[in-house]
């Protein structure tokens, strides 16, 4: 039986009657822009993640842009961000005329390498954007310490990690701003585009709130140039229905990840990444050779609550595309997040050399990663089919 990489209907259709009731309510009151369901949804999210202010916005991308605008990031400012992430992280920086400076990543958790970030700070560096990739938080204590030491603003790109925790604290709530995305493939998947900006800072929240509506306050009186960064009332109403189930959605993904790990580590040549090698690629490589490893499974650090937006394995020895082709031939959904690092993108080719240097680990993992189905509604039979297909490829 085919196993898709993601099946949004499996999660959404069981809620059909509740979603229809939410739609009917919005249809009847007619307040399609900033209607009452918007405030309700914002409060619900703020409560779930434990943050003072939550502003729904048009997308995760716009949440990043709005955060940067509210922090007054301008042309010529440098902003540190990982080379291995979705494009929007750096795209938002560039759109303001600021300069993304790419940092290398950890080969174990795929997140920003804080030691590399430290080396790339200059007098122009104004902010850092740690991305909590694939549903696991970056190492925030050293990142926040580095930011404090150099007076940098911190925006957590938590598009893939709403509800994940780092030492008990929710992703997105540790920096000056955190951003979430409700793109359908994210863990809290919406019915179109949507996102959220969160902060514990009253002043920043107020400024972002004004920038969200073209910078006008009161309406038609503009002290600032903002944009239209609103999320539809309807989207908020529909997402409230799903938010009530969010803890279960996360538990289902965690169960799937645990099942993969227990089944896949039984196969010869499959090992789980060891956090002990987090900071040292050389010792990790020696260890992998000693294990005769062909596939490395992802790991959740003990201090993290991983929400598994992606289950991303590393295929060693230049054989990633071979495994991908095998899974595709078996009708098993899989994809490469991300095949090209940001420092290697054409649109950034003209950035100063210092923006693009020293991202060797990122380059390497981009050639090794493959994400396999992890969505919550996967059945046990489907998971075992994925495992069997990988076993077949290894043999
Ligand atoms: C999805 C994503 C975004 C952008 O979110 P959209 O809602 O699609 O605009 C930004 N950063 C990361 C890391 C993402 O995964």
Residue nearest to atom 6 of ligand 1 (CA): 60
Give the pair of three-digit tokens for residue 125: 């560096």
Decide if 3 is inside a domain. Answer: no
Structurally, how many domains does the chain consist of? 2
How many residues are there in the chain? 395
The set of residues, in sequence order, having a beta carbon less than 8 Å from that of 290 and lying 6+ positions away, is none
Does 280 lie in the same domain as 132? no
Pair 60, 83: CB distance under 8 Å = no
51: CATH: 3.40.640.10
Residues 131-149: what's their mean pLDDT? 98
Does 189 lie in the same domain as 90? yes
Picking from 245, 261, 284, the residue at the C-terminal end of a domain is 245
Q: How confident is the model at residue 277 (pLDDT cuts 50, 70, 90)?
A: confident
User: Which residue is it, tokens 């489907």?
Assistant: 382
Average pLDDT over all residues of the chain: 97
From 38-47, 88-97, 180-189, 213-222, the region with the lowest mean pLDDT: 213-222
Task: Ligand 1, residue 64: give the atom nearest the CA.
Answer: 10
DSSP string over 296-365: EE----TTEE---S-EEEEE-TT-HHHHHHHHHHTTB--B-S-SS-GGG-GGGTTS-HHHH---HHHHHH
Give the pair of three-digit tokens for residue 45: 């999210």
125 lines ligand 1 (CB under 6 A): no
Decide if 163 is inside a domain. Answer: yes
Interval between CA 158 and ligand 1 midpoint (Å): 8
Q: How confident is the model at residue 59 (pLDDT cuts 50, 70, 90)?
A: very high
What confidence score (pLDDT) does residue 247 get? 98
Residues 100-125: what's their mean pLDDT? 96
Does 307 lie in the same domain as 173? no
Cα(60)–Cα(52) distance, integer angstroms: 19
Give the pair of three-digit tokens for residue 138: 């970056």
Residues 210-225: what's their mean pLDDT? 94
Q: How confident is the model at residue 286 (pLDDT cuts 50, 70, 90)?
A: confident
Cα(198)–Cα(55) distance, integer angstroms: 6
Indicate whether 45 pLDDT > 70: yes
Decide if 1 is inside a domain. Answer: no
Does 74 lie in the same domain as 18? yes
188 lines ligand 1 (CB under 6 A): no
Indicate whether 384 pLDDT > 90: yes
Q: What is the pLDDT of residues 327-351, one digit of tens each?
A: 999 999 999 999 999 999 999 999 9
Where residue 306 falls (left for φ over 0; alpha for ψ -120 to 50; beta otherwise) is beta
Does 324 lie in the same domain as 230? no
Decide if 2 is inside a domain. Answer: no
Cα(100)–Cα(82) distance, integer angstroms: 9
Pair 238, 231: CB distance under 8 Å = no
Give the residue from 345, 347, 351, 350 showing the smallest Cα distance to 78: 351
Cα(51)–Cα(46) distance, integer angstroms: 5
Domain range enclosing 151? 8-245
Pair 226, 209: CB distance under 8 Å = no
Indicate whether 267 pLDDT > 70: yes
Catalytic residues: 186
Picking from 183, 210, 245, the residue at the C-terminal end of a domain is 245
Q: What is the pLDDT of residues 341-383, one digit of tens each?
A: 999 999 999 999 999 999 999 999 999 999 999 999 999 999 9
Q: What is the pLDDT of residues 233-263, one digit of tens each?
A: 999 999 999 999 999 999 999 999 999 999 9
Give the residue from 311, 359, 318, 306 showing the smallest Cα distance to 334: 311
Give the rounded percent of residues in the chain with a pLDDT score beyond 70.
99
Q: How confident is the model at residue 145 (pLDDT cuts 50, 70, 90)?
A: very high
Does 198 lie in the same domain as 284? no
Helix (H, G, I), strand (E, B) or coil at 242: helix
Does 215 lie in the same domain as 131? yes
Longest dimension (CA), the chain: 68
Interval between CA 367 and ligand 1 midpoint (Å): 21
Cα(320)–Cα(390) distance, integer angstroms: 12
The pTM (predicted TM-score) of the whole model is 0.97
Indicate whether 230 pLDDT > 80: yes
Q: What is the pLDDT of residues 319-330, one digit of tens each?
A: 999 999 999 999
Does 369 lie in the same domain as 262? yes
Q: How confident is the model at residue 279 (pLDDT cuts 50, 70, 90)?
A: low
Interval between CA 66 and ligand 1 midpoint (Å): 14
Does 257 lie in the same domain as 235? no
66 lines ligand 1 (CB under 6 A): no
What confidence score (pLDDT) does residue 276 get? 82
């Amino acid at each position: 039986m085919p196993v898709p990489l993601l099946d949004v209907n499996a999660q959404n259709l069981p809620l059909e009657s509740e979603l229809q009731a939410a739609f009917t309510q919005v249809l009847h009151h007619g307040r399609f822009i900033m209607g009452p369901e918007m405030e309700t949804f914002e409060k619900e999210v703020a409560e779930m993640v434990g943050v003072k202010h939550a502003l729904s916005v048009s997308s995760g991308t716009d949440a990043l842009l709005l955060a940067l605008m509210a922090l007054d990031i301008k042309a010529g400012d440098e902003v540190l961000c990982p080379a291995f992430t979705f494009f929007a992280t750096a795209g938002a920086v560039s759109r303001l005329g600021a300069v993304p400076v790419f940092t290398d990543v950890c080969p174990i958790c795929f997140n920003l390498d804080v030691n590399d970030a430290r080396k790339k700070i200059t007098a122009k560096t104004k902010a850092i954007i740690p991305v909590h990739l694939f549903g696991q938080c970056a190492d925030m204590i050293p990142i926040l310490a580095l930011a404090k030491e150099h007076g940098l603003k911190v925006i957590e790109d938590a598009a893939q990690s709403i509800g994940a925790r780092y030492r008990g604290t929710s992703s997105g709530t540790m920096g000056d701003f955190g951003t979430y995305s409700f793109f359908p493939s994210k863990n809290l998947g919406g019915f179109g585009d949507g996102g959220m900006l969160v902060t514990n800072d009253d002043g920043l929240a107020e400024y972002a709130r004004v920038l969200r509506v073209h910078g006008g306050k009161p309406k038609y009186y503009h002290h600032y140039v903002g944009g239209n960064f609103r999320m539809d009332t309807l989207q908020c109403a529909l997402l409230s229905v799903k938010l009530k189930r969010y803890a279960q959605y996360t538990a289902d993904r965690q169960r799937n990840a645990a099942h993969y790990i227990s089944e896949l580590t039984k196969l010869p040549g499959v090992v789980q990444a060891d956090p002990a090698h987090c900071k040292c690629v050389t010792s990790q490589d020696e260890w992998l050779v000693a294990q005769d490893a062909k596939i490395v499974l992802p790991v959740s650090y003990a201090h993290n609550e991983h929400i598994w937006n992606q289950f991303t394995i590393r295929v060693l020895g230049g054989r990633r595309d071979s495994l991908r082709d095998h899974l595709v031939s078996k009708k098993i959904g899989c994809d490469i997040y991300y095949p090209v690092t940001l420092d290697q993108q054409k649109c950034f080719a003209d950035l100063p050399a210092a923006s693009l240097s020293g991202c060797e680990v990122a380059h390497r993992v981009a050639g090794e990663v493959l994400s396999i189905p992890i969505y919550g509604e996967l059945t046990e039979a489907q998971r075992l089919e994925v495992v069997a297909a990988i076993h077949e490829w290894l043999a």
